[in-house]
């Protein structure tokens, strides 16, 4: 078995000779992630969350043990020490993404969703404004439409081609706008459903038409370089735990200063104001990022952001990208070759089946020899037993789900009605109503610590479905 695997790896290296050419990356799994192999984990949910390298947690703990750090909203020595570290972390974020500090600012948030909500609730939508977004977005982007709707803006979706899961064109959709109003366009640099990477050229196209642009980079930046000296989106939400796994609870809104100034906060809170008067009923908001960081920031965690970014710079995200994409290409090719004894394919991949303009996230379903779908819940449950962490459902990306699985708006409306009894919505009844077609998929996503062995394990697991007959789902459904 071992020899068979080494032959397989040797073949892989012939195809991707650069794979093990970067010593720092080559030894990373052994140095920083031995817990995965010691505990028999095959981790394939990097789009859900990155995994922290051991040294990052250790260095952070060592650092905290040596320092005395107070709440940064004061002028005492321990407070000033925290303020200094926060400023350093802000500068490190700008530097990592090659963003000009004269052009960009960084607002620390709890996560990417927090960053998106800041934009949504503060964007100066007005009657006649347009909020245009591709269907392939995370729910935390879709949620902005409710703020837009509330302020009377038009909301329009750019549909996806059901096969490629790409938007065929965006210009005609963006052309519908009133240039005299504030208009917002949102798309992900990389889909968290299919791994499709949408063209970054859309940023300038939309900005030329007068839109402010949200580039959701949460799923893109863990394995791709985002260079903000080359592209100039107005708002970029990210979560740091997706990049280097630690700490959770810190994200950022990287924002063009001009765009940040357009936002109108619907409230004020601790840390965001220069002056509040109860008697005069007035307040004066702080400037720039300060106006958007509500309450006490996660100041003890921010030094770990600086450390994590330093680590990413040392490893070089371009090298990480090439390594991950070699594994992705191999995995995509092998998955497409898996078949039943009658020749019927075992795997149906949604979106790109090659590595052109895509990242390391693969959405798929398994089908039986007659073409019937294995319930994605079953695939996940069996993967769990093997210690394989994948994800199942629609991954908070209902648009890519609806387009790839060809679920129509009529079906959604009918099934929501049918599954709502006495005002209570039963999600299982909803999915059952959708019938024999799958209402979700399985997602495998690769990242920083992925190894060739992970891929082989995963392919062996997929092969265990060969010649089996699919039976209907019975279990929790989630989308
Ligand atoms: C593309 C994309 N946007 C936004 C988010 C939301 O990130 P968070 O849950 O960290 O707020 C995710 C999370 O998976 C994502 O993949």
Using the mean position of ligand 1's atoms as its centre, give its distance from the Cα of residue 459 in Å. Answer: 27
Instruction: Cite the residue boundaries of each domain of the chain with CATH code 3.90.1150.10.
Output: 2-49+317-463
What is the average pLDDT across 74-93? 97
Compute CA distances 352 → 44, 151, 157, 178, 336, whole Å.
18, 37, 21, 35, 12
For ligand 1, whether the C-beta of 137 sits within 6 Å is: no
For ligand 1, whether the C-beta of 47 sits within 6 Å is: yes
Q: Work out which ligand 1 atom sits closest to the CA atom of 114.
A: 11
Burial 411-432 (b: 16+ CB within 10 A, else e): beeebeeebeeeeeeeeeebbb
Q: Work out which ligand 1 atom sits closest to the CA atom of 192.
A: 16
Q: Work out which ligand 1 atom sits closest to the CA atom of 115.
A: 11
Residue numbers annotated as active site: 396
What is the average pLDDT across 176-183? 96
**3-state SS assignment for residue 42:** strand
Instruction: Cite the residue boundaries of each domain of the chain with CATH code 3.40.640.10.
Output: 61-313
Residue 479 above 70 pLDDT? Answer: no
Q: How many CB atoms lie within 10 A of CB 214?
A: 31
Using the mean position of ligand 1's atoms as its centre, give its distance from the Cα of residue 446 in Å. Answer: 16
Using the mean position of ligand 1's atoms as its centre, give its distance from the Cα of residue 217 in Å. Answer: 9
For ligand 1, whether the C-beta of 196 sits within 6 Å is: no
Mutation probe of ligand 1 site: the residue of 140, 141, 400 with most atoms within 8 A of C-beta? 140
104-107 LR contacts (CB < 8 Å, sep 24+): 104/228, 104/254, 104/255, 104/256, 104/257, 105/254, 105/255, 105/256, 105/257, 105/260, 105/288, 105/289, 106/252, 106/253, 106/254, 106/255, 106/289, 107/252, 107/253, 107/255, 107/260, 107/289, 107/292, 107/293
Question: Which residues face 236 on adjacent strands?
Answer: 254
Residues 6+ apart with CB under 8 A from 22: 316, 319, 323
For ligand 1, whether the C-beta of 111 sits within 6 Å is: yes
What is the average pLDDT across 239-255? 98
For ligand 1, whether the C-beta of 192 sits within 6 Å is: yes
Using the mean position of ligand 1's atoms as its centre, give its distance from the Cα of residue 216 in Å. Answer: 8
In the chain, count H helices and then E strands: 20, 17
The alpha carbons of the chain give a radius of gyration, in whole angstroms, of 24
Using the mean position of ligand 1's atoms as its centre, give its distance from the Cα of residue 115 in Å. Answer: 10
For ligand 1, whether the C-beta of 397 sits within 6 Å is: no
The encoded tokens of residue 280 equal: 């005069």
pLDDT confidence bin for 207, thresholds 50/70/90: very high
Cβ-contact 158, 132 below 8 angstroms: yes
Using the mean position of ligand 1's atoms as its centre, give its distance from the Cα of residue 186 in Å. Answer: 14
The CATH code of domain 61-313 reads 3.40.640.10
Ranges 65-69, 404-408, 454-458: which has the least confidence: 404-408
pLDDT confidence bin for 437, thresholds 50/70/90: confident
Q: Work out which ligand 1 atom sits closest to the CA atom of 110.
A: 11
Position 1 scores a pLDDT of 67
For ligand 1, whether the C-beta of 69 sits within 6 Å is: no
**Cα distance between residue 214 and residue 238, in whole Å:** 11
For ligand 1, whether the C-beta of 361 sits within 6 Å is: no
Using the mean position of ligand 1's atoms as its centre, give its distance from the Cα of residue 228 in Å. Answer: 20
Instruction: State the fold for domain 2-49+317-463.
Output: 3.90.1150
Q: Give the tens place of pLDDT for each residue, 293-315.
A: 999 999 999 999 999 999 999 99
Position 323 scores a pLDDT of 97
For ligand 1, whether the C-beta of 188 sits within 6 Å is: yes
- In this structure, are strands 130-134 and 42-43 parallel, antiparallel, or unpaired? unpaired
Using the mean position of ligand 1's atoms as its centre, give its distance from the Cα of residue 47 in Å. Answer: 8
Residues 6+ apart with CB under 8 A from 163: none
Using the mean position of ligand 1's atoms as its centre, give its distance from the Cα of residue 395 in Å. Answer: 9
Residue with tokens 């459903």: 193
Nearest CA residue ID for atom 14, ligand 1: 48
pLDDT confidence bin for 427, thresholds 50/70/90: confident
For ligand 1, whether the C-beta of 113 sits within 6 Å is: yes
Mutation probe of ligand 1 site: the residue of 114, 118, 119, 138 with most atoms within 8 A of C-beta? 138
Compute CA distances 199 → 196, 209, 231, 337, whole Å.
10, 16, 11, 29
Residue 118 above 60 pLDDT? Answer: yes
For residue 367, the 8-state DSSP code is B
Q: Give the tens place of pLDDT for each residue, 46-64.
A: 999 999 999 999 999 999 9
Cβ-contact 246, 304 below 8 angstroms: yes
Position 73 scores a pLDDT of 83
For ligand 1, whether the C-beta of 142 sits within 6 Å is: no
For ligand 1, whether the C-beta of 140 sits within 6 Å is: yes
Q: Give the tens place of pLDDT for each residue, 188-205.
A: 999 999 999 999 999 999
**Cα distance between residue 183 and residue 180, in whole Å:** 9
**Cα distance between residue 181 and residue 154, in whole Å:** 11
Nearest CA residue ID for atom 7, ligand 1: 112
Q: Give the tens place of pLDDT for each residue, 370-394.
A: 999 999 999 999 999 999 999 999 8
Mean pLDDT of the chain: 95
Position 4 scores a pLDDT of 82
- Which burial class, exposed, middle or buried, applies to 348 when counting CB atoms under 10 A from its CB (0-12, 13-18, 19+)? middle
**Element housing 393 (H / E):** strand 391-393
**Cα distance between residue 466 and residue 265, in whole Å:** 55
The model's pTM is 0.96
């Amino acid at each position: 078995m071992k020899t068979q695997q080494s032959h397989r790896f040797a073949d892989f290296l012939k195809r991707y000779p650069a794979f093990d050419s970067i010593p720092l990356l080559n030894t990373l799994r052994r140095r920083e992630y031995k817990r995965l192999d010691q505990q028999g984990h095959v981790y394939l949910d990097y789009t859900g969350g990155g995994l922290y390298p051991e040294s990052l947690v250790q260095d952070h703990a060592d650092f905290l043990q040596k320092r005395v750090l107070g709440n940064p909203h004061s002028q005492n020595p321990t407070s000033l020490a925290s303020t200094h570290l926060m400023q350093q972390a802000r500068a490190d974020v700008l530097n990592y993404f090659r963003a000009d500090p004269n052009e960009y600012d960084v607002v620390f948030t709890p996560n990417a969703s927090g960053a998106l909500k800041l934009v949504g609730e503060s964007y100066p939508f007005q009657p006649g404004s347009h909020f245009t977004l591709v269907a392939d977005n995370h729910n935390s982007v879709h949620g902005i439409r409710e703020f837009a709707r509330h302020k009377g803006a038009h909301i329009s979706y750019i549909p996806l081609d059901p096969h490629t899961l790409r938007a065929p064109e965006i210009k005609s959709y963006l052309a519908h706008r009133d240039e005299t109003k504030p208009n917002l366009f949102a798309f992900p640099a990389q889909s968290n459903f299919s791994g499709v990477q949408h063209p970054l050229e859309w940023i300038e196209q939309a900005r030329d038409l007068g839109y402010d642009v949200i580039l959701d980079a949460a799923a893109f930046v863990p394995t791709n370089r985002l260079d903000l000296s080359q592209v100039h989106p107005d708002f970029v939400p990210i979560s740091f735990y997706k990049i280097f796994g630690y700490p959770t609870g810190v994200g950022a809104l990287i924002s063009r200063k001009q765009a940040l100034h357009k936002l109108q906060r619907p409230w004020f809170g601790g840390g965001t104001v220069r002056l509040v008067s109860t008697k005069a009923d007035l307040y004066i908001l702080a400037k720039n990022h300060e106006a958007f960081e509500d309450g006490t920031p996660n100041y003890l965690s921010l030094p770990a952001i600086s450390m994590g970014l330093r680590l990413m710079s040392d490893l070089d995200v371009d090298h990480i990208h090439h390594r991950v994409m070699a594994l992705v290409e191999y995995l995509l090719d092998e998955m497409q070759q898996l078949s039943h004894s009658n020749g019927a394919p075992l795997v149906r991949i949604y979106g790109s089946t090659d590595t052109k303009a895509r990242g390391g996230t693969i959405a798929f379903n398994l089908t039986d020899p007659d073409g019937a779908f294995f319930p994605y819940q079953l695939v996940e449950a069996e993967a769990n037993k093997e210690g394989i962490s994948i994800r199942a459902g629609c991954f908070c990306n209902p648009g890519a789900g609806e387009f790839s699985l060809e679920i129509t708006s009529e079906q959604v409306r009918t099934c929501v009605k049918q599954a709502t009894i006495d005002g209570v919505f039963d999600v299982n009844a909803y999915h059952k109503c959708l019938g024999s077609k799958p209402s979700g998929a399985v997602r495998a996503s690769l990242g920083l610590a992925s190894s060739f062995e992970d891929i082989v394990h995963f392919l062996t697991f997929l092969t265990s479905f060969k010649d089996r007959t699919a039976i209907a789902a019975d279990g929790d459904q989630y989308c």
